[in-house]
Amino acid sequence: MTKIHVSATVNGDPVEYLADPRESLLDCLRDHLGLTGSKEGCGTGDCGACSVQLDGVLVCSCLVLGAEAQGKKIETVEGLSRGETLHPLQRKFIEHAALQCGFCTPGILVAAKALLEQNPDPNESEIRFWLAGNLCRCTGYDKIIRAVQDAAAEMRGAA
Partner 1 sequence: MAKDELKTGYRLIGTRPDRPDGLDKVTGRARYGADITAPGMLHAAVVRSPHAHARIIKIDASKALALPGVKAVITRADFPTGLTGEDWNLQENTMAGDVALYDGHAVAAVAATTKLLAQDAALLIEVEYEILPHVTDVDAAMAPGAPAIRPGSADPSVPEGMHPNVIRYIDFGHGDLAAGFAAADLVREATYKTEATHQGYIEPHACLGQMGADGRGEMWVCTQGQWYIRRMSAAVLGIEAANLRVTPSEIGGGFGGKTTIFMEPLSLALSKKAGGRPVKLVMSRSEVFRATGPTASTSMDVKIGMKKDGTITAGQVYFRMQGGAFPGMSPISEALQCAFACYDVPALKHEAVEVLANRPKAAAYRAPGSPMAAFAVESMVDELCRELGLDPIATRLKNAARNGSKSSFGPSYNQIGLVESLEAARAHPNYAAPLGPNQGRGVASGFWMNHGGETSVSLAIGEDGTVGVMVGTPDVGGSRASLALMTAETLGIPYENVRVNIVETGALGVNEPTHGSRATFASGKAAVEAARQAIGEMCRRAAAEWGIDADAVEWKDGAAHPAGPNAGKFPPLTIAEIGASMGSTGGPISGHHESVPGGVGASFGAHVVDVEVDPETGRTTVLRYLVVQDAGRAIHPAYVEGQYQGGAVQGIGWALNEEYVYGTDGRLQNSIFLDYRVPVASDLPMIDTVIVEVPNPGHPYGVRGVGETGITPPLPAMASAIAAATGARLRSLPMSPPKVLAAIRAKGRG
Partner 2 sequence: MRYHTPKSFDEAAAIAAKADGKTRFLAGGTDVLVQLRAGMVTPDDLIDIKHIAGVSDIARTADGGWRIGVAVSGAELGRHAALCADWPGVIEGMNLVGSTQVQGRATLVGNLCNGSPAADSVPGLIAAGATVTVTGPKGSREVAVEAIPTGPGKTVLAAGEVISAVTLPARGTGGGDAYLRFIPRTEMDIAVVGAAVNLRVVGGRITEARVALGAVAPTVILVPEAAAAIIGTDLNDAALAALTAAAEAAAKPISDKRGTAAFRKEVVGVLARRAALIAFARAKGEAK
Question: Contact positions toward partner 2, by CB under 8 A?
Answer: 1-2, 4, 21-22, 24, 43-46, 48, 51, 54, 57-60, 62-65, 67-68, 111, 114-115, 129-134
Asked whether position 117 contacts partner 1 by CB under 8 A, the answer is no
Residue 2 interacting entry, from partner 2, partner 1, none, C-beta within 5 to 8 Å by type: partner 2
Among 19, 67, 77, 116, binds partner 1 (CB under 8 A): 77
27 binds partner 1 (CB under 8 A): yes
Q: What CA–CA distances, in Å, run from 26 to 5, 99, 105, 130?
A: 16, 22, 16, 21
Instruction: Pick the closest to residue 28 from 85, 72, 86 (CA basis).
Output: 72
CB neighbours of residue 44 within 10 Å: 9
Say which DSSP state 87 is in.
Answer: P
Our finding on whether 39 is near partner 1 (CB under 8 A) is yes
